[in-house]
Amino acid sequence: MTASSIAPARPHWSSRLMFVFAASGSAVGLGNIWKFPYIVGENGGGAFVLLYLACLIGLGAPLLIGEVFVGRKGGEFPASAFLRVAREKAMSRLWGGLGALGAIIALMILAFYSVVSGWVGIYTVDFAQAVLGGDAARSGADAFSAMLADPTLQLSAVTAIVVTAGLVIYYDVTGGIQSVMRYVAPLFVVLLVAMLVMVAATTGKLGEAFTYMFQPDFSALSVDAFGEALGHAFFTLSVGMCGMLIYGAYLDDEANIPRLGISVALLDTAIAIAAALIIFPIVFAFNLESNGGPGLLFIALPQGFTLLPNGDLFGLGFFTATLLAAFSSLIALMIIARHWLEETLNVSGSSATLMAAGATWIGGAAVTLSMTVWDSISILGLSLFDFLDQATSSWLLPISGLGMAIFVSRAIVPDMPEGPVKIYLRAGLTYIAPLGIVVLIWSKAVGF
């Protein structure tokens, strides 16, 4: 990373825009393109979108802003950052545990994130081959199941992605992120907008998708939908796992964190909605299942692409954009793990990078094998994949989010200048987040 002239002692982003690019590179990922559309489909559309937006505004964005503040004050090492800020405020050392919890959640997410990124890689290569005149790209449920049943193919994809991500990080963390994001972010947005326009023009179903996404039908909502919306608000903004803290560490003291944070949250939300507005017109045009769950992206969408004129090109564009988004998020997650291993084990950055990449690969390999050769093994009745997904999104992220909300509302918010931003953060972090998360955890534990 380039050292800024503002504070030579600490590296800084070369520009504020670079912060927004890098933080969005972390935030925009499989959560936006793979998960958001399928949970909207599973929860009946508009009412869920509204609930999700409320969670983003009420809890997600305030937490994002809070995490960035902690990073700027405490530095780029998760546990030390919380410790340093806590010490300054004469708060307990135990708050350092939030950094460790965040990093452990990141490692758990990495195990399945690397696998789904691998699937995206496999589909991207498939569509590229189809465009170049090779075999037709895989499409439909059978092709997806065949891929899931092939450990060698999945392991190769996980290995390729994890090794590439490890190399990017190994050769200078933030410099790596900046140079990757400088090209990836604009390319991604161009691809996505092009896809949106082409899909709208070819299917003629954009209006229907709009109605589905924005006309609330509250009868389709369940209590579980609240948990899903809340957990996903954290996941998509990379908060609750120190994803944003690290980027805050490289911000200069003059940067307007609330404004930058809101920009990242808006961009992330716009991209999730754009992805859904690409997927649902295809689903409606070809009468595919909108509630197809995690397979929506890999089963329904390629089926739609094969029915569209120039479908292979659509497929290649879409899966390339998704791969870019997944890759930059994977790097961001691995950087959290690297920093935490570095501070905890007191090893060099390069060793910590190797360890983070190794841990990701082992996790990814275990998830892959648990779907194939070890498929008889289950944890609490769930596959390893579902266990990691549910444990992080439904339990650990809300718990660490609650801790961070309490911490930021005590350690950061009181020092902020009076005004609407302080009122917003106080409302979100002191009242809405704790109340929402406690109700969520209670409803899950007791069930109502």
Footprint on this chain of ligand PFF (rule: CB under 6 A): 26-27, 29-32, 106, 235-236, 238, 241, 243, 329, 332-333, 336
Of 33 and 288, CB closest to ligand PFF: 33
Is the Cβ of residue 143 or residue 333 nearer to ligand PFF in the bound state? 333
Minimum distance from residue 335 beta carbon to ligand PFF (Å): 8
Min CB(255)–ligand PFF separation in Å = 20
What's the rounded Cα separation, in Å, for the pair 237 and 258?
Answer: 14
Please report where in the chains the tokens 């957990």 appear, as a residue: 231
Nearer to ligand PFF, 229 or 308 (CB): 229
Rounded Cα–Cα distance for residues 154 and 369 (Å): 9
Among candidates 336, 335, 388, which has minimal Cα distance to 112?
388
Hey, what are 445's tokens? 């534990």
Q: What is the C-alpha to C-alpha distance for residues 230 and 417, in angstroms, rounded to an integer?
A: 29
Choice between 31 and 292, CB closer to ligand PFF: 31
Residue closer to ligand PFF (CB basis): 397 or 402: 397
The nearer residue to ligand PFF, 203 or 236, going by C-beta atoms, is 236
Q: How far is the CB of 218 from ligand PFF (least distance, A)?
A: 26
- The Cα–Cα gap between 247 and 65 comes to 11
Kindly tell me which of 27 and 388 has the beta carbon lying closer to ligand PFF: 27
C-beta of 308 vs 331, nearer to ligand PFF = 331
Helical H runs in 96-172? 97-131, 140-148, 151-170
d(CA 371, CA 351): 30
Choose between 202 and 238: whose C-beta lies nearer to ligand PFF. Answer: 238
Burial 339-366 (b: 16+ CB within 10 A, else e): bbbbbbeeeeeeebbbbbbebbbebbbb
Residue of 130, 138, 142, 74 lying closest to 102 (CA atoms) = 74
Q: Which is nearer to ligand PFF, 27 or 257 (CB)?
A: 27
Q: How far apart are the first and last CA of the chain?
A: 50
- Minimum Å gap between C-beta 309 and ligand PFF is 31
Min separation Cβ 361 and ligand PFF, Å? 17
In single-letter form, the type of residue at position 99 comes to: G
**Cβ-count burial 63-98 (b if 16+ within 10 Å, e if not):** bbbbbbbbbbbbbbbbbbbbbbbbeebeeeeebbeb
* Amino acid code (one letter) for 26: S
CB of 338 to ligand PFF, least distance (A): 12
Q: Count other C-beta atoms under 10 Å from residue 164's C-beta.
A: 15
Residue 234 CB, nearest approach to ligand PFF (Å): 8
C-beta nearest to ligand PFF: residue: 31
Closest approach of ligand PFF to the CB of residue 304, in Å: 22
| Cβ closest to ligand PFF, residue 280 vs residue 340 | 340
Q: Which residues, 6+ apart, have CB-to-CB distance to 441 below 8 Å?
A: 395, 398, 399, 402
H/E run at residue 398: helix 397-411
Question: What are the two backbone dihedrals, phi and then psi, of residue 382, each rounded to the nearest 5 degrees?
Answer: -115, 155
Give the nearest distance from C-beta 323 to ligand PFF in angstroms: 12
Q: How far is the CB of 270 from ligand PFF (least distance, A)?
A: 13
Of 232, 216, 220, nearest in space to 440 by CA? 232
Query: Taking the complex as a whole, how short is the minimal distance between the CB of residue 368 and ligand PFF, in angstroms?
Result: 19
> To 5 degrees, how large is the angle CA 250–CA 79–CA 414?
70
3-state secondary structure of 373: coil
Measured CA to CA, the distance from residue 357 to residue 337 in angstroms comes to 9
